[in-house]
Structure 1
């Protein structure tokens, strides 16, 4: 049961990471909102997979984010040009006690798992790419060394 729950969590994080990789941004910090941000395991997995610090936002981030985005659009449409960061900064309160830093060994293992996930995703979609089965062998060797 624990292994299956962990696999679902990691699969979800890998999907988020794949989407993130398509955006033209690099981040040293990932801010987390929603119910899962209360989970230390979730926050640590995000930090390790994204190779960036993960910090939960205090309060209900989704509703606040929507309101701040609306305020930003309203301000810019009204002629007062400002950045989204300028609008959001005073209202976003980070839960610094729960900040997670990436762990080097976890990052190394997740680098292989991300490649494996990407290779499997490509194979399922019928696209060419790395052989997922050879990657799995490499990953197993790495995990055995870590034990």
Structure 2
């Protein structure tokens, strides 16, 4: 896993001269100015897919590249889950980690994460849709951290 290379690409995109660095909270009140700046913003993604199904992430990255996306905007990090996950969670230049695995793995990442923001994403197997026909008490109890 080349986490350092992905982080280096992200840092290059966010250098001092980039439009992202020129944004400040006050500029949000200046509508025309912010609209011009948003056109130049890039989103940086470092994705670590599960080791069982890396090809779909690589295919998506190839499609993104075909659209003319700048280099190093989307980075795919391949490798073993625990090894890569640890490297990502302790890397000092990664500011946020979103996990889609188990609650236990997310808590483990948060404890090793040098105070970065760690969130647990609700995936297809762990999300809850609660409506008027659902017994809400059991759904809420099942959704909370153990």
Q: TM-score if structure 1 supplies the norm length? A: 0.27
Task: Report the structure, 1 or 2, having the larger helix content.
Answer: 1
Query: Structure with the greater relative contact order (CA < 8 A, sep ≥ 6): 1 or 2?
Result: 1
Task: Report the structure, 1 or 2, having the larger strand content.
Answer: 2
Q: TM-score if structure 2 supplies the norm length? A: 0.27
